[in-house]
Every structure is written in C-alpha cells, then in structure tokens.
Structure 1
Amino acid sequence: MSDTTPTSAPATAPAPELKTYHGNCHCGAVKYTVTLPEITSVTECDCSLCLKKGHKSLFPSGGLVFEEGKGEDKLKSYEFAGKTIAHKARTLNEIDDIFGLKVNTYKGTTLEPGYTPHAFTGPEPTATIENAKTYYGSCHCGAITMAFKTAGPLPEGSEKIQQCNCSICCRNGTILTYPHKTQISIHSPTTPPTPLSIYTFGRKFQQHTFCPICGVAISLQKNRPVDPELFKKEAPAGADQKQWEEKLPVNLRCFEGVEWDRVKVENRDWKNYGGKYEVP
C-alpha cells in the first residue's frame, strides 16, 4: 500500500474573454468583424512595405467575417516577393488609443529577397535652401517617386513631423511632414506616367493621394478654391489660409534614409476633430 498522496492535475488557465471588433475601410466599401481577446498589443514589421504603410498587424485565428456585399471582392491586392500581408489593426473601430498599444517588433528586413529602393529620376525640388539635404523615396512598387529638400537633416528640427489618430490618417498609417510645395517633387517614371489616385471626404479641403498599384499613401494636395468663410469656420483656430495653401504635406514613410531613431514624431489626438467619424 502506497503512502504517497495523489496529486491533482495542474489547473488550466481560464480561456481569455473574447471581444468582437468591427472594422472597415474609410469609405465603408469593405466592412467586417473579427473576434479575439481584447487587443493590447500589435506587431510592427520593419520590412519595406510595412514601413511605408505603417502596418500594425494582428493574426486572428478565426479570420474575418465580411458583411454581405462589402467583402473581399471589393479589396485590391498587391503582391511582391511571393508574400502575403497580415490584417491591419488600424482598420478597427473599437481601439481607443492606437498609440498606447504595446508594440512587438518583427525583423522583416532579414527576409529574402531584399528590397531595392527605386531611383528618383524626376526634376529636383525648386526651393532655394542653404545647406540643404534632399531625401529621395517612392511608393513601394516604384510607380510614384519623390524628392524632399530640407534645411539640413530632419533630426535638426527644421520640419514639422507628426502622426495623428483621425479616421483617415489612422487607417493610412501616415507620418506626415508639412513642407512648402517647392520643397517637394513628385514624379512617375513609368510610361505612360502613373497618375495618383485621389480620395476626398468630409470638408473636401484636401485630396488624399496614393499609388493606385501598391496603395501607399503619398501626399495631401489642396482642393482649390476653398471658400475663405468655410476655411475660417472649419480650420484650426489661427490657421492662415494662404500659408496652408502653399504647404504640400507628404508621407515621410515613403522616403529612404530618414533618421527614424533620431527624428521627433509628434502624436496628435485629432480622432474627433471636426466631429466624430461615422462609418459610412
């Protein structure tokens, strides 16, 4: 007869409570739900595409459930190096603080084949700046290339750089800088040239431009003319319309050689500026 006291099986941790999140593109053409534990962290990959698009990725085991008539058939695909792209956390509506999520990093730059940046062959920016530095970049596929002339390296603080949590910037993953339009040159090297795709909404002050092939956000171009009374009513307090019209905001993620470890990026809370975003 054994005098050994039987031991009970180790207790199993309770399954995490699941939550259903609702997601959509900005215009509402694609809508879906996904069910998973409460989102407290995302994965950021440093590969060429994830960096340019600002992906914050999740890997839900159950997949996405698309709303009837607003499903995968409405999505455009872009493939490179035989890879697929993970789901974007930025399209979910119930994440209150996108900047507050814990970030897990993935070194996508170590994967083969490596990415070769696309050369800029267009006209240089016309701005006259002493001790200037020019950054060159492109969308991911190279159909749109860009040059950006600054007053020295960006870490010296000559340019305003920010990201915000408004409905469109959060989905596009942009980090914007706001130079004078003469500091920027945007050029398509393709034959014939690839025109930028344009998306406008709300006040329609600006055109959100992006590459029609790879989908990378490029710039915010001004819609003109803008009625001065409407601008005064809708723009931030103290904004100067003439100065605003001379700016050409561009997505800094497009450029190669940005000193990301030393550049100061402001996080702006503009989620409800101009009224709460309503899903179309």
Structure 2
Amino acid sequence: MNITNASRKYEASCHCQLVRYSVTLSPPLEDLDSWVVECNCSICARNGYLNVYVQNECIQFETIGLDNELVEKYRFGKQRVQHYFCSRCGSSLMAESIEPGFYEGVKALNVRMFEGVDVRTLQRREIDGKSL
C-alpha cells in the first residue's frame, strides 16, 4: 500500500470565470492512488463529467458561491442530487446530495473545470449511477 500525505490545491472555474473556486485534493490527481469517477447516469454521460468527491471544507469559493442566483440548480430522477451550472456560460460545475445521510458533506466536483489538468492522463473508475 502506498501511503501518502501529499496534497495539491487546484484552481477551478466555469468557462466565463463567473464562478471561481479552489479545491485541495489529497492525494493529488497526479498521484498513482488518485482516480476520478466516470458515471453512467444520463446527466453525467451527456455532459462528460469526470468527478472527484471532496469534503465541503476542502472547497474555497473565490467569487460567487452556489447559493448565488447566478448559479442554476437542477435535479432529476429521484431528486437526491442537485447539480450546479453557471447561468452565464452553462458550464457543469459540480453536484451534491440533498438527501440527509446520502453522501452528506461531500460535493462531486467536475474535474473538467480544473485549470491545467489533462483529463486524458487521469485514472478513471466507472460507477453505475443509473442505479442510484
């Protein structure tokens, strides 16, 4: 087992820079023990999400937060997860559970919003989100 305490801070934003934030990941995306989730649910598949699941306290919003009226919210299916989009450029930012006890305190961040990350090099794990 490879035990690491390494972490890295990533800058992220929507395409138009209206929503900017940073996130600290441990291990960093470049670490051999790190991976991103490729979900097969209808919204993740259509939008090409590659997600990392991060504790809320690891995310720092630098401009507007998710509660701002310029951030669009969307739920579908079982209404368990809320997705967030920039209202100006349409970028798919992140998602979070709104159901108590279901991934509480965690956000699924779309790594495609991270600056300077080549998503082709990331290790991926597929999950069956259609069944959630």
* Cross-structure match for 1:233: none
Cα 1:217/1:196, change in 2 over 3 Å: same
1:265 aligns with 2:124: yes
User: Which residue among 179, 200, 225 is the counterpart of 2:75?
Assistant: 200
Please give the per-residue CA displacement for 1:97-143, whole angstroms capped at 9, x wherever unaligned.
xxxxxxxxxxxxxxxxxxxxxxxxxxxxxxxxx54210102110111
Q: Matches of 1:213 and 1:150 in 2, distance apart?
A: 27
1:46-195 aligned within 5 A = 130-188=5-63, 195=70
One-letter amino acid of the structure 2 residue matched with residue 258 of structure 1:
V
Larger Cα-atom Rg: 1
Cα 1:159/1:248, change in 2 over 3 Å: farther
Please give the per-residue CA displacement for 1:191-212, whole angstroms capped at 9, x wherever unaligned.
xx66310001122111110100
Q: Matches of 2:85 and 2:33 in 1, distance apart?
A: 25
How far 1:170 moved relative to its partner? Answer: 1.4
One-letter amino acid of the structure 1 residue matched with residue 79 of structure 2:
K
Aligned partners of 1:159 and 1:177 also within 8 Å? no
Percent of residue pairs identical:
29
* Cross-structure match for 2:106: 247
Q: Matches of 1:269 and 1:251 in 2, distance apart?
A: 17
How far 1:161 moved relative to its partner? Answer: 0.9
- Structure 2 runs not aligned, ≥5 long: none
Please give the per-residue CA displacement for 1:138-163, whole angstroms capped at 9, x wherever unaligned.
11011111211012431214544111
Q: Matches of 2:21 and 2:41 in 1, distance apart?
A: 25
Aligned partners of 2:27 and 2:34 also within 8 Å? no
TM, length-normalised to structure 2: 0.79
Cα RMSD over matched residues?
2.3
Please give the per-residue CA displacement for 1:74-96, whole angstroms capped at 9, x wherever unaligned.
xxxxxxxxxxxxxxxxxxxxxxx
Cα 1:206/1:270, change in 2 over 3 Å: closer
How far 1:165 moved relative to its partner? Answer: 2.2
Question: How many residue pairs are counted as aligned between the two chains?
Answer: 125
TM, length-normalised to structure 1: 0.40
Q: Matches of 1:201 and 1:211 in 2, distance apart?
A: 18
- Structure 1 runs not aligned, ≥5 long: 1-129, 227-240, 275-280
